[in-house]
Chains A and B, each alone.
Chain A
C-alpha cells in the first residue's frame, strides 16, 4: 500500500462486538501537512489513532505510515512516529527526567539529542528542577508539557497528537503552536485530534470530521472558509424594496425598508453587481465562525 502519503488508510473498519467504532474509512494525509482529525467523543478518532499505532487491530482494511503497514510492519511505522496520548499514563513515582529517558531509549539509542530535548523543555518552560521532580507533584498542564516533550524529543518525521493542548494555559498553547509551526517548516507531518476548533482553524492545513466511525467531511481549512456562507448586511440611503430575486448563492434572510440581510455562499461579486445602481450607503460582511461552519458536520441529522 505504497501511495506516497504520510498516512494512508483504506477501508478501515473496527468492530467491538455489535458496535462499529470505525466504518470503512478511507483517508490520505500528505507528507508535510498538519492534519486535524475531528469528531465528537466516541466518533472513532481514538480508535483510528490506536490502529495507526497498532494498539488495536482492525477488523478490516489497512493503514500505513510513510509506506509501512501499521500492522505488518508496525515497528518500522512506529519508528517514524512521536505520539502524544490523550490521557498520559505516567507512573506517579517516576521523575520527568526518568520518563523522558525511558521513552528516548525506546525510540532508539541515537534518536534523541540532549540539546534538542533541553530546547523543547525550555520552550515549554519545564525547568531542570521540574524534570527532577516526581510526576505526582506535577499539575495537569505540566504533565501535558512533559507529554509534548516526549513526543517531540526524537524529532520524528510524523507526529500523532491526541488533544495536544488539553490542560495547557493560553501562554503554553502559544508556545505549542510555535513548536508546531517549527516542525511544519521542517517538513514534518502532524496528525492531530482536537476539540478546540479555533486551534484547528489556526494550525491545520486540512481537516477530516468523523461521525459514528464514518468520514463525513474532508477539506482544506481554506476551502471550508470559501464554501461557508457569509452574512452580508446592506444599508441603503433610501428605502429599497425587497428584491424579487438574488444571484445564485445569495439568499435574502431579512429585509427592512433601508436594510437587507443576505447570506452569501461563494464569491461576493454577483451580489455587488446586483447592488449596482442602488443607493447603497454601507456594506458589512461577516465571516461565519469556524465552529458554525463545522457544526453541521458534527450533528447526526447532517451528512
Chain B
C-alpha cells in the first residue's frame, strides 16, 4: 500500500519533467521525419552520401550509408546522444529519489510511518518503469504521427514497425540498465547530487570505453565492460536483428542494481 501512495506522490512531483521530456522527444521525432521527408523529396540522400570522403566511410563503416536513408534519419531519434542523455537524466533523477528524500528530510516523515523501506525502493522502480515506458511510447507515437502526416508518400521507405520497436526496446533496456546502477548508488548516498554525479561519471566513462573500443581493436576487450557495448542501434538500422543476449545483459545489469539497492537501502542508517 505504501508503495502506491509513494508512487502517486512521486509521479505527481515528476509529472512536469516526464510530460515535458515526452513532449520534446516526440516533437524531435516529428522534426526528424520532416527532415527525412524533405531529403527524400529532393533526392538528396545519394548526393549526400557521395560527399563523404572514402577514408571516413571506411573508418565508420557501412552504418554511414544506412544512416543516410529515409529510415536512418527517422530512426536517429532513438540513438541520438542528446536523446540518450535526456532519457538517462530522467531515469537517474527518478532513481536517486530515495537519496533526495533523505537529503531533504522527507524520508523521516515517510519512514516514521508503518512504511517498509522496500516500499521506497519499489516506488522508484515503478516510477522509472512507468515514466520510461511513457516517454518511449510518446517517441514512438511522434514517429508514427510524423510518418503519417509528413511522409505519407514515401511509405515504401518507412522504417518497419519491427525496426522501430527494436530501437525502442534497445533504448529502454539501456535506460533500465543505468536506472539500476543509479539506484544502487542512491541506496547508499545521502545526497541526490552525489548519487547523480557518481552515476553520470560512471556512465560517461562507460560510454568512452565503448567508444574507444569500437574504434580501436586493442581496446575491444575492455569495451565489453561497458553497458553501451550492448546497445547497437546502428546495426539495427542496417538490418541486423536485435540480439536477445545484448538486451539480456542490459536488463540483468539493471535488475542487479535494483536488487542491490533493496539490500543496501534496507541495511543503511537513514
Contacts and interface: CB of A to CB of B under 8 A. Distances in A.
Interface in B215-269: 267, 269
Nearest to A107: B113
B269 A78 contact: no
A83 B9 contact: no
Given A56-B270, A89-B104, A93-B13, A107 B114 contact: yes
Contacts of A78: 111-115
Between A50, A75, A89, A93, the greatest number of chain B beta carbons within 10 A of the residue's beta carbon is seen for A89
Contacts of A105: 5
Contact of B109 (A76, A85, A93, A109): A85
Given A78-B113, A105-B5, A55 B106 contact: no
Contact of B269 (A57, A79, A88, A103): A57
A5 B113 CA distance: 21
A106 interface: yes
A94 B8 CA distance: 13
Given A79-B114, A89-B107, A106 B13 contact: no
A85 to B, nearest CB: 5
B2 interface: yes
Interface string A189-216: 0000000000000000000000000000
Interface of B, helix, strand, loop or mixed by DSSP: helix
A108 interface: yes
Q: Kindly name the residue among B13, B106, B267, B270 whose own CB sees the greatest number of chain A CB atoms within 10 A.
A: B106
A102 interface: yes
B106 A76 contact: no
Contacts of A87: 105
Interface in B1-32: 1-2, 5-6, 9, 13
Contacts of B34: none
Nearest to A99: B109
B107 A81 contact: no
B13 A85 contact: no
A83 B114 contact: no
Nearest to A56: B269
A150 interface: yes
A99 B9 CA distance: 10
Contacts of A54: 111
Given A75-B116, A76-B114, A85 B108 contact: yes
A189 to B, nearest CB: 16
A53 interface: yes
Interface residues of B, number: 23
Contacts of A85: 105, 108-109, 112
Interface string A148-183: 001000000000100000000000000000000000
Interface string B49-78: 000000000000000000000000000000
Contact of B113 (A76, A89, A91, A103): A103
B116 A53 contact: no
Interface string A102-140: 110111110000000000000000000000000000000
Contacts of A88: 105, 109
B198 interface: no
Given A55-B269, A56-B269, A85-B105, A108 B112 contact: no
B9 A102 contact: yes
Contacts of B1: 109
A99 B13 CA distance: 12
A164 B270 CA distance: 21
A81 B112 contact: yes
B105 A89 contact: yes
B6 to A, nearest CB: 8
B110 interface: yes
B128 to A, nearest CB: 19
B17 to A, nearest CB: 12
Given A75-B116, A78-B113, A85-B105, A55 B270 contact: yes
A34 B3 CA distance: 34
Nearest to B2: A106
A94 B108 CA distance: 16
Nearest to B119: A106
Interface string B96-130: 00000100111111111111100000000000000
Given A54-B111, A85-B108, 18 more contacts: A53-B108, A53-B112, A56-B270, A75-B114, A76-B114, A78-B111, A78-B112, A78-B113, A83-B109, A85-B112, A87-B105, A89-B101, A89-B105, A91-B13, A102-B109, A105-B5, A106-B110, A106-B115
19 contacts: A55-B108, A55-B270, A56-B270, A57-B269, A78-B113, A79-B113, A81-B112, A85-B108, A89-B105, A89-B109, A91-B106, A94-B13, A99-B109, A103-B109, A103-B110, A105-B5, A106-B113, A106-B114, A150-B109
